[in-house]
Amino acid sequence: MPLYTPTRNAQRYLGDGKAKVVHDLLNEKPECGALDIIAARNGERFVPDKLEFALSLGYKACPHCLPAYAQPEEASPAAGEGGEGGEKPEAGGA
């Protein structure tokens, strides 16, 4: 059951203040961990409650509940192909 319902809560978007990821409570998935974010008191509310506003503040879209807005480049460095090592030799060697 989504955390967002018009009768229960007017906020649709929840920001994870620690990870800087925004979640859509209307389309939340178990992987989002929205209840964990709220329990840890890391939740951020956005005024206005708009996805565009959250993204403009530097939050990244959750790949689970906002896949159309998630940045594909987030997965590439996490793959560990030496993304950090590949950038440092260019900057340090030049």
The predicted-structure confidence for 7-61, as pLDDT tens digits, reads as follows: 455 789 999 999 999 999 999 999 999 999 999 999 999 999 999 999 999 999 9
Confidence class of residue 6 from pLDDT cuts 50, 70 and 90? low
Contacts of 40 (CB under 8 A, 6+ apart): 18
Residue 66 identity: L
pLDDT at residue 80 tops 70: no
Q: What is the pLDDT of residue 71?
A: 86
Distance CA 34, CA 90 (A): 39
The arithmetic mean of pLDDT across residues 65-82, rounded, is: 66
Q: What is the pLDDT of residue 72?
A: 76
- CA distance to 83, 85, 86, 87, 88, per residue, from 94 (Å): 17, 14, 13, 11, 10
Residue 52 identity: E
Cis previous bond, 48, omega within 30: yes
- Beta bridge partner(s), residue 13: 24
Q: What is the pLDDT of residue 14?
A: 96
